[in-house]
Amino acid sequence: MIHPSAHIEAGAQLGVDCEVMAGAVITRHAILGDRVVVYPGAVVGGDPQFLKFERATPSFVRVGEGSVIRENVTINRSIYEEKSTVIGARCFLMAGSHAGHDCELADDVVLANNVMLAGHVSVGSWTFVGGGAAIHQFCRIGELCMVGGLARITRDLAPGTMTTERDEVIGLNLVGIKRRDWPRETVRELKAAFRVVYFQPGNIRAIAATARASGAFPSAQAQAFLEFFAGGKRGFARPRREGVPLEVPTEETR
């Protein structure tokens, strides 16, 4: 359904049963999957905020099926020829949030109001980013993360972690993890891997690599957690300042 006063440029691609409300702008660089809903004032496929960008560059924004783009959201297209900024399926971008050029959001990501993603940010599935949080360019946010409102993120966030303030890891996102219905032993492994990585001094990449190779963490989820530390350009968020305990439950905690 296309509402009166919606602006859809020639060349834009809309899937089946999309809804574009009054005042929304879908540029010719946008490709929307089925059942995408775009609310008033949103701009999907606008030019990237990059001083050296050549506007004639053919680049895109791709939005996965079932995603919801609320009021005044802005999603900028890629700075690279034939490349795309990607919003996965069933994502929910709340009012005023921004996804910069070349961001990649996996499926089922939620950005709360006024979240700001700079260029080249990647966000894993089932991650929630709290209102007003700002994410530095080239940061990676793993799956099942929870980012606190008004957080300032300048480093990579490992899968399943909770982070707040300025790159302060405060524990595992156990609520999100439990919603995945993973086996209890898998959750125990994740807790143990978290302790190994964050509870001892030293090079975090080397610690994670050693733990991964040890054979003590065989589940795919724990391996993915440890493997995350092998990549990235920004370094890694760490536990909050000394003297403030991490919120990591004991084995007895359900």
**Structural domains in the chain?**
7-176 (2.160.10.10), 179-232 (no CATH)
Tens digit of pLDDT at every position of the chain (254 positions): 999 999 999 999 999 999 999 999 999 999 999 999 999 999 999 999 999 999 999 999 999 999 999 999 999 999 999 999 999 999 999 999 999 999 999 999 999 999 999 999 999 999 999 999 999 999 999 999 999 999 999 999 999 999 999 999 999 999 999 999 999 999 999 999 999 999 988 999 999 999 999 999 999 999 999 999 999 989 999 997 554 445 554 444 33
* Chain position carrying tokens 């905020």: 49
Q: The whole model's pTM is what?
A: 0.93
Query: Does residue 17 sit in helix, strand or coil?
Result: coil
Residue 78 DSSP class: P
Distance CA 233, CA 7 (A): 38
